[in-house]
Amino acid sequence: MSHSAHRRTAAATALALAGLLTAAVPATAAPGGPPASAPGSPASAATSPAALAAPDIPLANVKAHLSELQSIAGANGGNRAHGRPGYKASIDYVKAKLDAAGFTTTVQQFTSSGATGYNLIADWPGGDPNQVLMAGAHLDSVSSGPGMNDNGSGSAGVLETALAVSRAQLQPAKHLRFAWWGAEELGLVGSRYYVNNLPSAERSKISGYLNFDMIGSPNPGYFVYDDDPAIEQTFKDFYAGLGVPTEIETEGDGRSDHASFKNVGIAVGGLFTGASRTKSSAQAQKWGGTAGQAFDRCYHSSCDTTSNINDTALDRNSDAIAHAVWTLSAGSTVPPGEVYETTGDVAIPDNGAAVTSSVTVSGRTGNAPATLKVGVDIKHTWRGDLVVDLLAPDGTAYRLKNSSGSDSADNVITTYTVNASAEAANGTWKLRVQDVAAQDTGYIDSWRLTF
Ligand code: DTR
Ligand code: ZN
Ligand code: ZN
Ligand code: CA
């Protein structure tokens, strides 16, 4: 009997196990692809909607927000710093855009250094209130300048992504919440105030916080925060699609508003194009720009104006924000309880080398669950001979069964639960079986993973 690995819904698996399906399908039936069933047999795969593709974020729109913020600084003493009129005017501008676009906005006040500060929170109606994806940027500048790259760039990129959500009337699985923080330059004051005043029950609903602080540096690097693996991978996948190499952000820990969320155990990620560190020649080789020069020579200076922006970096990173928001808010692209299985027989050599049987998982986002079900069906007399492991796509082994000389019963037909939350879901998983004692023999009949 030679079938190959395929993906079925739980219901279809029941049919399959009842022998009603004789599908011989490609080893990796990608979700949304053709149903994994032979012609004439009952439709077997739930074709769940894959994550919708994010729209392109128009650079001109992002730059228009920057121009507005520049004008606001110009009309208010040359800056948009905490406690200065230019900051409140920046809040009012962003809030007006979001109110007009259908967001539910809240202005949260706090006091820092004797002055009133403001956070702007914008909720997009809909989505699972128990799964909140957040994206944010600090809106304040230092007092020495208008703060276009730091951090008008992040503020404008997040704002335009929110407006794109409205234009698309996106209805993601998760609830979307956007935020613009006050007094970041005084020490993450606004974002820390928000997190500290969020009841723990509300904190636990936040599935991730995406931070964007300096995403248009004039001599840009493309840095991805190395925090939550699924969020990091989402950004890396986006840049891989552009053919743009990225580096891990190494100076960022604690240096921006994601730290306020990370400090209370919320998954975080983000993007950064560099500040006062200098670009190496190797980095100039891969990214262009000027080696030996700071990524942003106007960091925290009066020259951090709209001319202190690299349009390509701002455009790419704004699109990356949208990609991450669309992708990470879609929930899992395949319904829970999705089964990936193989029914191919693999003979187990008596008292010999280990053998493996593979199942390929694709189309999922993020990591495998902490309760990954591994259903095995091994036909073998005197099962005490057998050692059984699950191998994750990266080769990590999870021991399912040890040998036991005294266990003379036949067959291993059972389901194990494995905490595979450290493993990326997509890839080729293997069941490894070894017969470590002479005489009794058998074979792997089938096995399956249920996510
Ligand atoms: N703290 C930010 C700028 C900054 C400097 N290094 C990093 C690394 C990652 C994010 C941000 C930053 C500020 O001055 O606003
Ligand atoms: Zn700064
Ligand atoms: Zn900043
Ligand atoms: Ca044996």
The predicted model scores a pTM of 0.68
Q: What is the pLDDT of residues 190-211, one digit of tens each?
A: 999 999 999 999 999 999 999 9
- Cα–Cα distance measured from residue 364 to residue 361, given in angstroms and rounded to the nearest whole number: 8
The alpha carbon dihedral of 78, 84, 89, 94 has a sign of positive
Q: How many angstroms separate the alpha carbon of residue 75 from the centre of ligand 1?
A: 26
List pocket residues of ligand 1, CB cut-off 6 Å: 150-151, 184-185, 213-214, 249, 251-252, 255-256, 272, 275
For every residue of 353-403, DSSP letters joined together read --EEEEEEE-S--SBPPTTEEEEEEEEESSGGGEEEEEE-TT--EEEEE--
Q: Which CATH number fits domain 10-41+337-450: 2.40.40.20, 2.60.120.260, 3.30.70.600, 2.40.50.140?
A: 2.60.120.260
How far apart, in whole angstroms, are the C-alpha atoms of residue 410 and residue 417? 21
| Span 327-332, average pLDDT | 83
Which CATH architecture does the domain made up of 49-328 adopt?
Answer: 3-Layer(aba) Sandwich (3.40)
Checking if the pLDDT of 385 tops 90, the result is: yes
- On the question of a cis peptide bond just before residue 151, with omega within 30 degrees of 0, the verdict is yes
The percentage of residues in the chain with a pLDDT greater than 70, rounded to a whole number, is 87
**Where in the chain do CATH 3.40.630.10 domains reside?**
49-328
* Span of 49-53, 172-176, 219-223, 267-271 with lowest mean pLDDT: 49-53
Q: Give me the DSSP letters along 428-443.
A: EEEEEEEE-SSS--EE
Higher pLDDT, 92 or 18: 92
pLDDT band, very low/low/confident/very high, at 251 (cuts 50, 70, 90): confident
132 or 22: which carries more pLDDT confidence? 132
Cα separations (Å) of 256 from 22, 259, 323, 380, 413?
A: 56, 6, 21, 57, 51
Distance 447 CA to ligand 4 centre (A): 21
**Could you tell me the pLDDT band of residue 382, with boundaries at 50, 70 and 90?**
very high
The tens digit of pLDDT for each residue in 53-91 reads 899 999 999 999 999 999 999 999 999 999 999 999 999
Q: CATH 2.60.120.260 occupies which residues in the chain? A: 10-41+337-450
pLDDT at res. 365:
83
- Catalytic machinery residues: 184
**pLDDT exceeds 70 at position 133:** yes
pLDDT recorded at residue 137 = 99
Q: What is the pLDDT of residue 331?
A: 65
Query: Rounded mean pLDDT of the chain?
Result: 88
Return the pLDDT at 51. 54
Q: Which pLDDT band holds residue 336 (cuts at 50, 70, 90)?
A: low
What percentage of the chain carries pLDDT values higher than 90?
A: 82
C-alpha of 313 from chain center: 21
* Ligand at shortest distance from the CA of 79: 2
